[in-house]
C-alpha cells in the first residue's frame, strides 16, 4: 500500500496499527522480527513500540534464546488493556461474561432474574452489568462496551425486537432495554452472537452452520467469514425447519420443528426429572431407554444437518449447553446418519464441537467491542 498523498499523521496512525496488529497476530514477537515482517525501518518500529508501551497496549515479557548476538526481547499485547462485557438475556436468568482482547473469558456469572419488558427489569439489568463490570475492572475507561445477546429477531435497523415469542417481548425498543447501561451497547440475536464467538480467530471456518444447543435451540449461518443476517434478519433460523411433518407443536405456531426435538428443553422433558449429568451417564452405560432417547435426538439433528447441507455445503459447529456432553462417538453417529443416503455418501461434512457452552451468546455479544478496539488502535 502506497503512502502517497497521506498526511504525516495518517501515516503514523497506519504504522502504529500495523505494528500492533502484527504483535496481536503473532502473540509474541521481537522488534527485529516486526521490522522484517512489516518491511518497516527499525527506527519506525522502535518509535511505535515506545508509544504503544507508554499507552499500556503492549509490554515486554522476557527474552528469546540468543542466536549469536544480544538476546531479543519478546513483545506481546496486554490482553486486559481493555475489557468487553457480554450479557445473554434468558427467560429466567442473565448470563454475564467479561472477555479480554483475545476473547478469553476473564470472569463469568449467572444472575437469576426472570425477564420482563418493564422499567424495573431494565434498571436491574443496568445495575447488575455495572456491578459486574466494576468487579472485573475498577477503571471504567477500560470497559470498551457491553454486548447484549437476546432471544428474538431484531429489526433490520436493530432498534427493536420484531419477533419475540419466547420472551413475550415483540416490539420491545432496544433503547429501553439498554437505557440504564452506562457503556456503549450493541445488541445481537443469541444464536448469531454464539456463531460469532465460535468463528472468532478461526479463519478455517469461512463457511459454516452453527447450531446453538441451548435450552431453546438456535442456529446461524456463516458465509465468507461473516454471520449472515438476511434481508429481514431471519437468516439461519433452522430451529423452525420442519423435521417431522405434523409432529410436536412448536411455540412458533408450527408443528414438527427442530426446536421441539433438539432443544435442551425438549430433551429435559423426556428424561423424567433426571439431571443431564445423570441422563448422559446412563447413555454412556448403554441404558436402553436413555440410548433410545439420545439416538432419536441425534437422528433428528442429523436430518436437519442433511437438509441444510443441500442448500449450503459447509462445515457444522455444535455450540451451547449440550456440547460438553457430546462424545466423538456421537459425532460419528451423526455422520453415519447423514451419509447413509447415497446422495450424501461422498460428502465430507465436518462436524465439530464448539469451544463454548451456554455462555457462547454472551461471549459473542462482547466480541464486536474487542474487534473494534483492535482495529482502532
Domains detected in the chain? 8-77 (1.10.10.10), 82-196+360-376 (3.30.420.40), 203-353 (3.30.420.40)
Q: Extract the C-alpha cell encoding 161.
A: 425486537
Contact, 356 vs 197, CB < 8 A?
yes
**What does the pLDDT look like over 138-164, one tens digit per residue?**
999 999 999 999 999 999 999 999 999
The pLDDT value given to residue 263: 97
Q: How far apart are the first and last CA of the chain?
A: 19
For residue 167, CA distances in Å to 45, 92, 115, 163, 257 come to: 52, 10, 7, 10, 18
SS3 for 293-330 is: HHHHHHHHHHHHHHHHHCCCCCEEEEECCCHHHCCHHH
The pLDDT value given to residue 182: 95
Please give the full DSSP string across 318-372, using - where no structure is assigned: EESTTGGG--HHHHHHHHHHHHTSGGGTT----EEE-S--TTHHHHHHHHHHHHH
Q: What percent of the chain has pLDDT over 90?
A: 89
The pLDDT value given to residue 6: 83
For residue 110, CA distances in Å to 178, 217, 301 come to: 19, 20, 28
Alpha-carbon gap, residue 283 to 295, rounded angstroms: 9
The pLDDT value given to residue 29: 97
**What does the pLDDT look like over 83-95, one tens digit per residue?**
999 999 999 999 9
The reply to whether the predicted model has a pTM over 0.75 is yes
Indicate whether 226 pLDDT > 70.
yes
DSSP 210: E
Q: Please count the CA atoms within 13 angstroms of the CA of 149 that sit on its side-chain side.
A: 31
Indicate whether 205 pLDDT > 60.
yes
Amino acid at each position: 500500500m502506497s503512502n502517497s498523498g497521506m498526511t504525516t499523521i495518517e501515516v503514523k496512525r497506519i504504522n502504529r496499527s500495523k505494528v500492533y496488529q502484527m504483535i496481536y497476530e503473532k502473540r509474541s514477537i521481537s522488534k527485529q522480527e516486526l521490522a522484517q515482517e512489516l518491511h518497516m525501518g527499525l527506527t519506525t518500529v522502535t518509535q511505535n513500540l515506545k508509544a504503544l508501551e507508554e499507552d499500556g497496549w503492549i509490554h515486554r515479557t522476557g527474552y528469546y534464546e540468543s542466536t549469536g548476538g544480544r538476546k531479543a526481547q519478546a513483545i506481546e499485547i496486554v490482553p486486559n488493556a481493555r475489557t468487553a462485557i457480554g450479557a445473554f438475556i434468558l427467560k429466567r436468568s442473565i448470563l454475564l461474561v467479561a472477555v479480554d482482547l483475545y476473547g478469553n473469558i476473564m470472569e463469568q456469572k449467572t444472575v437469576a432474574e426472570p425477564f420482563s419488558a418493564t422499567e424495573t427489569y431494565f434498571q436491574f439489568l443496568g445495575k447488575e452489568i455495572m456491578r459486574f463490570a466494576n468487579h472485573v475492572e475498577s477503571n471504567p475507561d477500560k470497559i470498551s462496551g457491553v454486548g447484549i445477546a437476546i432471544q428474538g429477531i431484531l429489526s433490520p435497523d436493530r432498534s427493536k425486537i420484531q419477533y419475540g415469542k419466547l420472551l413475550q417481548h415483540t416490539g420491545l425498543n432496544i433503547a429501553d432495554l439498554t437505557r440504564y447501561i452506562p457503556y456503549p451497547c450493541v445488541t445481537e440475536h443469541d444464536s448469531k452472537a454464539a456463531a460469532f464467538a465460535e468463528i472468532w480467530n478461526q479463519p478455517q471456518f469461512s463457511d459454516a452452520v452453527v447450531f446453538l444447543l441451548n435450552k431453546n435451540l438456535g442456529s446461524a449461518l456463516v458465509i465468507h467469514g461473516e454471520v449472515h443476517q438476511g434481508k429481514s434478519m431471519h437468516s439461519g433460523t433452522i430451529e423452525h425447519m420442519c423435521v417431522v411433518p405434523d409432529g410436536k407443536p412448536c411455540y412458533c405456531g408450527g408443528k414438527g420443528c427442530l426446536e421441539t426435538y433438539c432443544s435442551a428443553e425438549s430433551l429435559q422433558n423426556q428424561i423424567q426429572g433426571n439431571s443431564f449429568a445423570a441422563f448422559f451417564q446412563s447413555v454412556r452405560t448403554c441404558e436402553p431407554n436413555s440410548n433410545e432417547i439420545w439416538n432419536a435426538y441425534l437422528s433428528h439433528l442429523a436430518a436437519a444437518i442433511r437438509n441444510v447441507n443441500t442448500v449450503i455445503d459447509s462445515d457444522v459447529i455444535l455450540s451451547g449447553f449440550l456440547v460438553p456432553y457430546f462424545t466423538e462417538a456421537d459425532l460419528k453417529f451423526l455422520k453415519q446418519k447423514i451419509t447413509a443416503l447415497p446422495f450424501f455418501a461422498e460428502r465430507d461434512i465436518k462436524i465439530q464441537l464448539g469451544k463454548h457452552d451456554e455462555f457462547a451468546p454472551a461471549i459473542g455479544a462482547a466480541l464486536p467491542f474487542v474487534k473494534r478496539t483492535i482495529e482502532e488502535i
